[in-house]
Amino acid sequence: MMAERGPGGGGGPEGAPGDPEKEALENALAEANRRADEYWQQFLRARADLENYQKRVQRDLEASVRRQKAGLLLRLLEVMDNFDRALAAAENRPEAAGADGEAPARAAPAEGLIEGFRLIHRLLQQALAAEGVEPFSAVGQPFDPAWHEAISVWESDAVTEATVTDEIQRGYVYHGEVLRAARVRVARPRATEH
């Protein structure tokens, strides 16, 4: 039987040690694999960078929309305040008292008108809540300038720290952040004389 010749034409077995052609091919394959792995890693980093960029753009867009909505919502809160005042006046509640503290004389309002105001008020509250706007309670809370705007301050022996005693205008949060601080009266501890 005759020995077959390898690709190099020499009669030896294929891939014999020291075969320069085989070594060159192996080196080229190793280099190609190294570059393929490098390119794969670059692709993975680029894909992660793109995903992070898309997430950042989405967050920025959502924040921009919230800021734009906040302006509109602040204007709607003025409407809500006027409904609160109108209802208080129509129902002759203490919040509708005049500057002298006396409630204005009340004519017998048409109950249908008052009920209409209540309905509009309730619908406006629901619309604001659907947008993430919620009122917060201030009375009895420690004074916090991030949440409260002090309209007046008075001294009292009944408190140990600055405390909200009256709410002049309701405060609201928008997605957990203060949209409008509550306007309040604050009692602070009486100063002790030394």
Q: What is the pLDDT of residues 127-160, one digit of tens each?
A: 888 888 999 999 999 999 999 999 999 999 999 9
C-alpha separations of 47 from 57, 61, 74, 172 in Å: 15, 21, 41, 41
Tell whether pTM > 0.85: no
| Alpha carbons 192 and 87: distance in angstroms, whole number | 43
The DSSP 8-state label assigned to residue 108 in this structure reads -
Kind and range of the H or E element at 95? none
- Domain 133-194 CATH class label: mainly beta
| Across 108-122, average pLDDT | 77
pLDDT score, position 2? 47
| Extents of the domains making up the chain | 21-98+109-131, 133-194
The tokens 């305040």 sit on which residue?
81
Q: What is the pLDDT of residues 152-186, one digit of tens each?
A: 999 999 999 999 999 999 999 998 899 999 999 99
Mean pLDDT of the chain: 83
Please give the structure tokens belonging to residue 67: 């800021």
| Across 116-135, average pLDDT | 87
